[in-house]
Amino acid sequence: MMIKNFGARVVSVWEGLRPMTKKMLVGALAASGANAANPQTQKFSYDVHAEWELSRLLSALDEQAKDAEFRRDAEKLSEIKQLAEACAKVLQTQTASAEVFIQLAERAVQRNDFQTLDRLADILAQRFSAGEVAEIVRQTELAQLRAVAYETLMMMPIAHLLPLLDDTLYFEIARNAIEQQAFEFDNQDAQQILEQLDLDEMQ
């Protein structure tokens, strides 16, 4: 796999990667190619900066894969997609970021990859904080993703949602999730909170 053949933008992003991030991707590619351990079982150092690097590279690769020149070259296109999938898999196994979740989920929707979308929905419930899930609701333009995020919030303990009521960015989102718990699940704690919110608004 020759990165220099993947276009100027991909080369620029690749050259800006730290050695540890490149090593992580090489390991993910090797595991995928050998159909051995997946990125979830690999040992590597993953941090916020690595996530940012991988997200940028994935964006560059996906953009390049749409280029007519590369679409005419089956071998190059296959290699670009292979590296993109390695990026996506590492991000999927590690991220707890609203922005990266949206990137991965929109990518799955564009590809009609509903199996990956289902896995991402599970990850959202298992790994993400209420604040990050609310941020997904706030940022995404896709109704499918907003519905998945709201469903996740609706399943969270009320205690996880209460801090969001103190943030003007997330107040309405949290209130909507609490309303869903109150009326769809007949949650009495949620009903009491709504009553208190109504009283506060009347004052």
pLDDT tens-digit readout, 45-94: 789 999 999 999 999 999 999 988 888 889 989 999 999 999 999 999 99
Question: What pLDDT, on a 0 to 100 scale, did the predictor assign at position 70?
Answer: 81
Q: Which tokens in the block code for residue 159?
A: 């205690």
**Which token pair is 164?**
């969001």
Residue with tokens 């289902």: 118
Q: Confidence band (pLDDT; 50, 70, 90) for 34? A: low
Whether 156 and 129 have beta carbons less than 8 Å apart is answered as: no
pLDDT recorded at residue 36: 43
pLDDT at 5: 87
Task: Centre a 10 Å sphere on the Cβ of residue 174 and count the other Cβ atoms it contains.
Answer: 26
Asked if 110 and 146 touch (Cβ cutoff 8 Å), the reply is no
Give CA–CA dist 12/57, Å, rounded.
9
> What pLDDT is recorded for position 193?
96
The pLDDT of residue 130 is 97
d(CA 92, CA 178): 28
Taking only the tens place, the pLDDT of each residue in 86-115 is 999 999 999 999 999 999 999 999 999 999
Kindly state the tokens that stand for 139. Answer: 């940022």
Encode pLDDT of 15-30 as tens digits. Answer: 999 999 999 999 889 8
pTM: 0.89
Q: Let me know the angle formed at the C-alpha of 85 by 82 and 91, rounded to the nearest 5 degrees.
A: 145
Instruction: Read off the pLDDT of each residue in 153-163 and give the average, rounded to a whole number.
Output: 96
